[in-house]
Structure 1
Amino acid sequence: MSTTTDTADTVHRWLRDNARPVHGTDAADTGTDLRTLTDHLAAATVVGLGESTRFSRQTYGIRERILRTLITEHGFRALAVQDSARSGARLDAYVRTGSGDPYTALAGAWRPLRTAETVATLEWLRAYNIDHPGDQVGVFGIRPAAAESADYDEVLAYAHRWAPDRAGELATYLTPIRSAHRIDEHVQRHQGIHPGRPFAEDARAALTLLQALPQPSTAEAAAAYSTALDRARLIVAFHENSVAGRGGFGGDDPQPARTIIDHHHATGARIVYWDGIAHTAAGESGIGPADTRFHSEGSGLRAYFGTGYLSVAIGFHHGDLGTAIAPDPHPDLLDADLGAVDLPAYFVDLRDDAPPEVQAWRAAPARMRVISGVYDPAADEAARFEVTSAAAAFDILVHIRETSPVQWLPEPADE
C-alpha cells in the first residue's frame, strides 16, 4: 500500500475525519462508543472479528464488547472459535449447562484461548444463558476433532497394562511431542527448545509400534486397543496438520468455513466468528516473508454469504505483548497509516464515502501486521500479511494505539 506524500496526506486526513473514538477497551465497558460499529454489523449472518495478535488485552476487550452487543441487542446466538470440535463441545457444555467450570473446559483448548480473558467470556455467556434458558448462545470449534494431551495418556495406559514391555519405547515417542499442546512445535523451533526430530515422525512411529503389538485376546483388551488406536491416529493427524507439520501457515482447507456454514444451516443461529485477521479476511491473503498464498476462512464465508458475511479487523500500533515489546509499525504497513490518528482507540468504516485518492488506497493491496508465537521484534518487518485489497478483506478497521498483555492461565500439570 505505497502512497505518494500528497495521497498519504489525503488518506490521513480522511482517517482523522472519519475516525470514531472508542473510549473503552475492557470487555465490561458498556458505553455507546461502539454503537455505530455494532449497528453496521447487525444485519449480517456471520460476523468475523479478527485480531492482529492474540496477546493483547485491548484487542480482546474490544472483540468481546462487540460480541456482547451482537448477542444482547441483535440476536446473534453462536460463537465460533479457532479450536477443535472436541474443545468447542466442552466450552458449549459449560456455557449452556454449567458442566464443570471454565478452567476445566479450557484445559484442553488451543493455547491462545487459555487466558483469564476467555474465562471471563465463558462466565458471561454462562450468565446470559441462565437468564435466557429458552434462547441460549452456543460455542463451537471450527476445526475437526483433534488430539489433546489426555489422548497420550490413553495410549500409554493401554501399553502399560497390555504390553508393558513396549510401554517405555512408546513413551519415548509420545512424551516429547505432547509438549506441542503447551507450546506449538513451530514456536519451539523459534525458541530453540525443539528436540530436533519432527513431531509428526515420532507420532507415526508411535502408531506403527501400537499397530505391531500382538492382537488382544479378550473383549476388554480389544476395546482398549481400539480406543488406543483411535487416539494414536488423532495424535498423528494433529502433528501432521500443525504449522510445523505442514511446513508453513498457508493452506487451502475449506473445512473451517464449511463448519460455520453448516452450523448456521443446522441451527439457524447467526454467528460471531473469532480468529486472527489472516483467517477472518474476506479475500485471498499472503502471509510471512515468503508471501505464502492461501484462501482464508473469511474468503469462503464471503463467497457463500456475500454481504451477509462482514469482517472487522482489530489491530494496534505498538506496545507490550507480554512476550515482547512491539515497536511502531513499519511505514509501509496499513497499521502505520492508521496510527496517523491521534486517538487511544478508534474505528473506521471502509465503506464510508471517500475522495478518489482514498478509494484507490482502500482498493489497493495492503500489508498489515500480524503477530504470532514466533514473533521477534528485531524482525518486525517479517510479521505481516497482505490482502489484495483492504476494503475487500475488511469492512471495518479498529485501531488501538498501545497494547498491554493478556493474562495467561497456568499450564495443566500433565503437559
Structure 2
Amino acid sequence: MDHDIAHASALPFSTDSLDGLAARIATGATIVGIGGSTRFSREVSGLQDQLFRRLVTQHGFRLLALQEHAGAVDRLDRYVRTGEGSAESALDAAWRPWRTAETAAALRWIRAFNRDHPDDQVQIVGTKPAQAQHEDYDAVLGHVRAIAPDRLPELTAHLEPIRTAHDLDEHVQQAQGAHPGRPFAEHARDALALLKSLPTAKGSEAVLARMRLIVDFHDQSVAGRGSFGGEDDAAADMLAGHQRRTGLRMVFWDGIAHTSAAPFRLGMVSDGALMPSVGSELRARYGAGYVAVAIGFHHGDLGVVTVPEPPADFLDAELGRADTPAHWLDLRGEHDANGEHGEDVHRHWAGPAKMRVISGVYDPAQDADAYLRVASLTAAFDVLAHVHEARAAHWLERVQH
C-alpha cells in the first residue's frame, strides 16, 4: 500500500480543496462524469480517484462506471466485492489505458471500503456489452487445430495480427506506424468465413459464436467504424440502465470527449463534424442531475510522450497562467475556489473553448490540432480542475507500449 499512499500525497491539491470540490460536484448530482484530458497522467487519474473516494465516503455514491465491456467489468466488480484475485489480475482483461498502478490503487481502496461495508458496497459497471477477449481467439485456434489442422496456418494469419488490438487499439497502431496494413475487420470476416466452410463438429456452434464476437469487436472499433464517435447513445443507455436498476448515485470515469455534457468537435478529425458524447446524452436524460467535471493540464512528460506548453488559444493556456500548481473552478452560478462571484465566473467562461486532448494518437508535431472544441464551455462542463505539470502514469508490467 506504500505506492497508494505516495500516489495520493503527490496530488497538487490540499485535502480541504479536494473536500470542497467533492462537495460542490455532489450537490444535486445523480451521475458525475469526471473526464481527463489524457489517460497517461498520474495526476489526472489520481484526481479522478481522490474525488471518487470522497464522493463515496462523504456523499453516498456507490457506482463506478468505466468505458469497458461487460466481461472485463465483471472481473473488476468481483475483485472489489469479494476479494477474488488481486487488483492487478482483475485488470488483465481490461482496456489498456486502465492497466496502471493508479487504477490498481483505486481498486484496492474500493475493495477495502467494501470489506468494511459488506451491506453497502461500491459496484463497478461498464458502458459496453460483452465483447471478444484473448481466450476467444485461443478457443477458435484450438478448435481448428483439432478438426482441420491443414487450415490452421491460414486462420492464424488472420487472427494473430488482429488480436494485438486488445493490447493497443488498431487506430493507435495506425497512428504510430505499427499497423500491419490490412484492416483488422477484413481479417476477422475472412476468419469467420473460413470457420463456416469447415465440417460441423462438436463445439462448432460455440466457436462460431466466439468468432462472431471477434468480428463485432473489430467492426465496432474506432478503426472499424472509421470514426471516434458512434457508440455514445448506447453507452448512455447502458449507464442510465445501471443507475435505474440500482437506484444508486454514479461516478463515470472517462476522457473529456466522453464526459462533456455538450456535443463537441475534435481538431484531429479532418471534417470537423459535431460529435455527441456520452455526457451529452446523459445531460439530455438527467438534466442538472448529470454533473460534468473536466481535468486538464498545462504541460508535462507523460512517459509515452512529452507534451509542450499549449497554444495560446487553448483553455489550458489561460488556466495555466494562474500562479499555482493546481486549482479548480465551478462554472455554474455559484463561485469558484477563490470565492469570486459566481455570475462573473459563469459570464467569463460562457463562450466557445478549445481544450487540450492527449490520446494514443497524439503527435507533438501536430500539437495545435490536439483539442476538443465546444461552442459553450459552461454548457459542456460544470467544473474545471487544472494541474500545471503532469507526470507519467505507472503502467503495470504486462502493458507494452
- The answer (yes or no) to whether the contact 2:349–2:377 under 8 Å persists in 1 is yes
Separation in 2, partners of 1:334, 1:265: 35
Partner amino acid, structure 1, of 2:23: D
Structure 2 unaligned residues grouped into runs of 5+: 1-7, 336-340
Equivalent in the alignment of 1:375:
362
1:237 aligns with 2:237: no
Deviates more, 1:291-300 or 1:192-201: 291-300
Runs of 4+ in 1 over 3 A off after TM superposition: 24-30, 352-361
Partner amino acid, structure 2, of 1:227: A
- The answer (yes or no) to whether the contact 1:250–1:292 under 8 Å persists in 2 is no
Partner amino acid, structure 2, of 1:286: R
Instruction: Give the C-alpha shift of residue 363 in structure 1.
Output: 2.2
Give the one of 155, 158, 167 matched to 1:182: 167
| Secondary structure at 2:119 match in 1 | coil
Equivalent in the alignment of 1:208:
193
Whose relative contact order is higher, 1 or 2, with alpha carbons under 8 Å and at least 6 apart?
Answer: 1
- The answer (yes or no) to whether the contact 2:331–2:345 under 8 Å persists in 1 is no
Q: Deviations over 1:68-126 (max 9, x none)?
A: 00001110001000111111111001100112222221111100000011111111100
Instruction: Give the C-alpha shift of residue 151 in structure 1.
Output: 1.2
Instruction: Give the C-alpha shift of residue 361 in structure 1.
Output: 4.3
Instruction: Give the C-alpha shift of residue 26 in structure 1.
Output: 4.1
| Secondary structure at 2:303 match in 1 | coil
Separation in 2, partners of 1:345, 1:68: 19
Partner amino acid, structure 1, of 2:211: A
Equivalent in the alignment of 1:397:
384
Partner amino acid, structure 1, of 2:317: A
Equivalent in the alignment of 1:4:
none
Equivalent in the alignment of 1:40:
24
Structure 1 unaligned residues grouped into runs of 5+: 1-23
Separation in 2, partners of 1:401, 1:25: 16
Instruction: Give the C-alpha shift of residue 170 in structure 1.
Output: 0.7
Matches for 1:68-79 after TM superposition, within 5 Å? 68-79=53-64
Equivalent in the alignment of 1:281:
260
Q: Deviations over 1:283-338 (max 9, x none)?
A: 11111332232110000111111111101000000001111110111111111111
Note closer, same or farther for the CA distance 1:406–1:412 as it changes in structure 2 (3 Å cut): closer
Partner amino acid, structure 2, of 1:285: F
Give the one of 81, 90, 98 matched to 1:96: 81
Instruction: Give the C-alpha shift of residue 25 in structure 1.
Output: 6.4
Instruction: Give the C-alpha shift of residue 412 in structure 1.
Output: 6.8
Partner amino acid, structure 2, of 1:320: D
Equivalent in the alignment of 1:21:
none
Separation in 2, partners of 1:268, 1:96: 18
Q: Taking structure 2 as the reference length, what is the TM-score of the superposition?
A: 0.92
1:258 aligns with 2:237: yes
Instruction: Give the C-alpha shift of residue 357 in structure 1.
Output: 7.7
- The answer (yes or no) to whether the contact 1:254–1:300 under 8 Å persists in 2 is yes
Equivalent in the alignment of 1:171:
156
Equivalent in the alignment of 1:59:
44
1:300 aligns with 2:281: yes
Q: Deviations over 1:162-219 (max 9, x none)?
A: 2222122111100000011111111111111111000010011111111111112xxx
Q: Deviations over 1:30-83 (max 9, x none)?
A: 822212211112231000000000000001111111000000111000100011
Partner amino acid, structure 2, of 1:100: G
